A and B are shown apart, each in its own frame.
Chain A
Amino acid sequence: MPETSQHAQNPREGMMATLSKEQIGRVLAKQGILIAFAIFLVAFTIANPKFLSVDNVFSVVRSSAILGVMALGVTFVVISGNLDLSVGSMMSFSTIVVLDLHDTLGPLLAIPAMFAMTMALGALIGFLVGYLRLNSLIVTLGMLSAIHGLTLTYSGGQNMDIADKEGTWFGVFGQGSALGIPVPILIFALLAALLGLVLGKTPFGRKIYAVGGNGTAATFSGIRRARTVFSCYLISSACVATAGLMQASRSLGSQNTVGQGLELEVLAAVILGGASLMGGSGTIFKTVIGVLILGFIQNGLLLLGLQFYVQFVVTWVIIILAVWLDIAAKRGKLWSPIA
């Protein structure tokens, strides 16, 4: 921070300097993702006025809600300085389980039972990463494979369907609407608000930032690191269970591989929101923005009449640009100092 101290010597000069090109660039880069999002929305609306209509916005948010709910949980894990690659196959697991239990236990019991089973998996990962301090990338990579195997064993490789699709109220989480707003959007919004408060306004949230920012320092400050990491994985698995519930409820039937590949899309949304993979930074609000950007890109490109797959290429470019600008702003230089 040598620059800041220089500015501090002469406050007035400091004020002027905040308006220098570099500083403007810094602000731009810091809020860049929001600004880019706004420009993007305006441009697409000009190209196609339907883009920001209530109907379209609802449909975008609704289809992003499942990914979004998972991203909320992964944000906790990433801020604590870890990764979670298992959320995709864990989501398949909870979807299959809740659909199966729906017919055997009835929906009222199936939901808590599924939550318990999914969160048991989350607790296992939390134990391995938090208490045994194993590398989270490898642990969750292993769990990706293991949980996929578990799901296949559970379902016997068959698709899972609810027998009586007409006579159940189970569809409400994925298909219903309340007060004119689709239920998936409500769940996403409520959960985002709740987890945003937990992360931003509680001592527990601050501990997560501390553990992710500097684990050793956090430990010396009396924060129980293992326990904090464990809780993050528990929260993540609860979010995954919610997403599984929404997915199951939306389609009332599912393949074993419904969540395959979602782990990387979720991570992309979280990174796009500006959370650092090194831990210690990111917010729920930014993650929501990241999720919406992905959703609106997909929708906007389709409305422009482009092929569905173009979104992947665009997402690639946007992710790299977003992260690049973010770290360029932090180091004050566009190009990396790597020789």
Chain B
Amino acid sequence: MQPGALSKALKNGAIWGFIVLELIFFSVAGEFLSLSDKAFMDFENMLLLLKQSAPIGIIAMGMTIVMVNGNIDLSVGATFAIAAIVLLDSMTWPIFAGLGDWVIPVAWLLALTVGTLLGALNGLIVWKTGVDAFIVTLGSMLGYRGIVFMFNGENPTSHLNWTLVDFAEAQFLGLHTATWFLLAVTLAIWFLMARTVHGRNAYAIGDNRDAAVNAGIRVGPHMMVNFAIIGFLAALSAVVFYSESGSVNPNDGQLYELWVITAVVLGGTKITGGAGSVIGTFGGVIAIQLLRKGLGHIGADTSTVNLVIGLILIAVLFLDRQLNVKGKEELKV
């Protein structure tokens, strides 16, 4: 075995080991503590878990690319809310009145386009001004959220289209629509990151930007494309979620960026860029959702969930540090 292989294997498998631990713990603890007599590992319950992970999970796939690339996006929650408003509001526009149910794909397309453009705008600013992505997206988080509020004040925007609700609530091969979207996005982004030149370049840029430039990789356009992808995925997440719920509050999606980043970091992606995997992120998303659901199952309230997730995040960082003591000096954010 090569030196470091053990710690590498430990790290790659860690998130799945953690998930198994969670499953065992909540199943056993659930027997004693849960008020319902349903088992935690109930099949229906697990299907629901996958469905509930979809909104965060879909965005997390985009965040993985952006973070591997050495950037970060804090504006996803606001983009999510804008896309939701575009989706629900555009279905009531008079110009689309004659379309009948064909308004649905039009509204989807509009919402996804808006999300992609907002993401691309972030990317363009990062590229052309050279301002750190953290600051750019911190600013646009405020700006995009301001746009959300300017649209309808503090009031919710609602529109229920029953065809759409039926589609969103449908189950195909046992899995919910949202779950299919999550799986499809995971697969697509995995393919992008692991099997294409674009993905390889993203790792290269995140690992060592100067070296990537010297190797002839055009760093700017790559970053912009990746920001456009995360904008698209934030909009897709909104589209999937609000097709079912039909009503968006202007505060919706707040703190999503934090949940998403937590999932991505739990999944082993380096905040400094250059390392991380889509499959790991998928594990991170599942682990968080499992934790929320499991703690709920044994009767803990939201406060405990917040506390535990925060502490786990720090613990993971600490363990990672211990496993990497002889690794390279970590860069500053």
Which chain A residues have a beta carbon within 8 Å of chain B's beta carbons?
A: 81, 83, 128, 132-139, 141-153, 157, 216, 260-261, 264-265, 267-268, 271, 277-279, 307-313, 315-317, 319-320, 323-324, 327-328, 331, 335-339
Contacts and interface: CB of A to CB of B under 8 A. Distances in A.
Contacts of B302: 149, 152
Interface stretch (B36-44, B236-244, B308-316): B308-316
B136 A320 contact: yes
A312 B149 contact: yes
B129 A336 contact: yes
B158 interface: no
A92 to B, nearest CB: 12
Most B CB atoms within 10 A — which of A138, A139, A268, A327? A138
Contact of B218 (A81, A317, A339): A339
A264 B307 contact: no
Interface of B: 74, 125, 127-132, 134-136, 138-147, 149-150, 153, 213, 218-220, 223, 254-255, 258, 261-262, 265, 271-272, 301-314, 317-318, 321, 329-330, 332-333
Contact of B303 (A81, A157, A279): A157
Nearest to B125: A320
Contacts of B307: 145-146, 149-150, 153
18 contacts: A83-B333, A142-B311, A145-B258, A145-B313, A149-B304, A149-B305, A149-B306, A153-B303, A157-B301, A264-B74, A310-B146, A315-B146, A317-B139, A319-B138, A320-B131, A327-B130, A339-B213, A339-B219
Contacts of B314: 128, 134, 138-139, 142-143, 146
Contact of A268 (B138, B254, B305, B306): B138
B143 A313 contact: yes
Nearest to B151: A309
A317 B135 contact: no
A138 B318 contact: no
Contacts of B213: 339
A310 B149 CA distance: 9
A129 B103 CA distance: 52
Given A134-B318, A150-B307, A324-B129, A145 B142 contact: no
Contacts of B136: 320
The 6 closest A-B pairs by CB, nearest first: A312-B146, A336-B130, A146-B310, A316-B143, A149-B307, A152-B303
B135 A336 contact: no
A153 B307 CA distance: 9
A316 B142 contact: yes
A316 B140 contact: yes
A145 B140 CA distance: 22
A266 to B, nearest CB: 11
A323 B132 CA distance: 9
Contacts of A336: 127-130, 220
Nearest to B306: A149
Given A134-B314, A149-B307, A152-B303, A267 B142 contact: no
A319 B135 contact: yes
A142 B132 contact: no
Contact of B332 (A145, A279, A312, A315): A279
Given A278-B332, A317-B143, A323 B135 contact: yes
Contacts of B330: 133, 135
B305 A277 contact: no
Contacts, number: 177
Given A157-B301, A313-B146, A137 B310 contact: no
A261 B149 CA distance: 15
B139 A319 contact: yes
A337 B127 CA distance: 9
B281 to A, nearest CB: 15
Contacts of B218: 339
A265 to B, nearest CB: 8
Contact of B145 (A137, A312, A338): A312
Nearest to A261: B254
B321 A335 contact: no
| Chain B CB within 10 A, most for which of A151, A265, A271 | A271
B143 to A, nearest CB: 3
B332 A81 contact: yes
B333 A277 contact: yes
B131 A145 contact: no
A277 B318 contact: no
A337 to B, nearest CB: 7
Contact of A339 (B135, B220, B303): B220
Given A146-B310, A147-B310, A313 B127 contact: no
A313 B318 contact: no
Given A324-B129, A338-B219, A338-B220, A141 B142 contact: no
Contacts of B262: 141-142, 145
Contacts of A337: 130
Contacts of B130: 324, 327-328, 331, 335-338
B310 A277 contact: no
Nearest to B144: A316
A287 B332 CA distance: 22
A327 B130 CA distance: 8
A331 B272 CA distance: 23
A331 B310 CA distance: 39
A268 B258 contact: no
Nearest to B143: A316
Contacts of B271: 135, 137-138
Contacts of B333: 83, 135-137, 277
B305 A309 contact: no
Nearest to A333: B130
Given A135-B333, A339-B220, A149 B142 contact: no
B142 A277 contact: no
Contact of A320 (B135, B149, B261, B313): B135
